[in-house]
Structure 1
Amino acid sequence: MTAPREVLSTSHLAATGSVEPQDGATLPLVLGLLDDAKAEDTVSIDLTGKTSLADSMIVTSGRSNRHVGAIADRVIEGLKERGRKDVRVEGLPHCDWVLIDAGDVIVHVFRPEVRHFYNLEKMWGGDRPAERAVS
């Protein structure tokens, strides 16, 4: 399933002088980048009302350390290309679990064994059985 692509209006570009995603546009942008990088088992969790850390959390997997690193690099570069200079990243040297904080969206990219061990979907989405699997 291909995530919807973000469309930036020319009026937004003219008004702000930036290609930074508009409010709410980061989630579809990140989902599209993950799809491009062949991320697996991607789940989007709505954090509204659960925490003030972010509006959404994405949990996804790569097949190996190298794939996890490539997925993370694709997301980071894609966000920077869209003007997001404030992206924070943890875990890139080891690539077992990479955390990408894009402000309103937090992305966790795991190797499958590490994802199973931490089980973030259960921790953050447990009281919301209708959370949607993206792919």
Structure 2
Amino acid sequence: MSDRILALTLTSLDQDKAEDVVSINLRGKSSMADHMVVCSGRSTRQVAAISEKLVERLKAELGVACKVEGKGQGDWVLIDTGDVVVHVFRPEVREFYQLEKMWMTPAAQA
């Protein structure tokens, strides 16, 4: 199921013009999820819209209920599907936290 969630997530982010999408395989690295996806939206409004559409699509197409945090702020929205964790950032906030660098292997960062 996690691969189906990941595929739908990546498609949804692409359709909604998310930028700099990075998918990180967490299998064997963490028990919290199988995959992490990090992406950016250009504004707080786009970050909120990308997140909202993704949650709607996951529910409608796969019946996945997501936990969502941060949508009101629009700086960093966390979407937890259970198998896939999605972080949607404004670019400045993403640059500050550099979340994907903590999880990527050194070879993948090069």
Q: Give the one of 89, 107, 110 matched to 1:129.
A: 107
Q: How does 1:58-69 map to 2 (within 5 A)?
A: 58-69=37-48
Separation in 1, partners of 2:16, 2:58: 14
Q: How does 1:32-111 map to 2 (within 5 A)?
A: 32-111=11-90
Q: Determine the structure 1 residue equivalent to 2:5.
A: 26
The Cα of 1:43 is off from its aligned counterpart by: 0.2
- TM, length-normalised to structure 1: 0.76
Secondary structure of 1:43's counterpart equals strand
Q: Determine the structure 1 residue equivalent to 2:99.
A: 120
- TM, length-normalised to structure 2: 0.93
AA aligned to 1:82 is E
How many residues end up aligned between the 2 structures?
Answer: 109
Separation in 2, partners of 1:119, 1:74: 24
AA aligned to 1:102 is T
The Cα of 1:83 is off from its aligned counterpart by: 3.8
Give 1 or 2: higher helix fraction: 2
Separation in 1, partners of 2:106, 2:6: 19
Q: What per-residue deviation string (whole Å, max 9, x for no partner) do you get for residues 73-94 of structure 1? A: 1100001102434310000100
Separation in 2, partners of 1:23, 1:93: 27
Separation in 2, partners of 1:38, 1:116: 19
AA aligned to 1:86 is A
- Identity rate, percent: 55
Q: What per-residue deviation string (whole Å, max 9, x for no partner) do you get for residues 30-73 of structure 1? A: 00000011000000001011111100000000000000001001
Secondary structure of 1:45's counterpart equals strand
Measured on the aligned residues, the alpha-carbon RMSD in Å equals 1.3
Q: Which sections of structure 1, spanning at least 5 residues, go unmatched?
A: 1-21
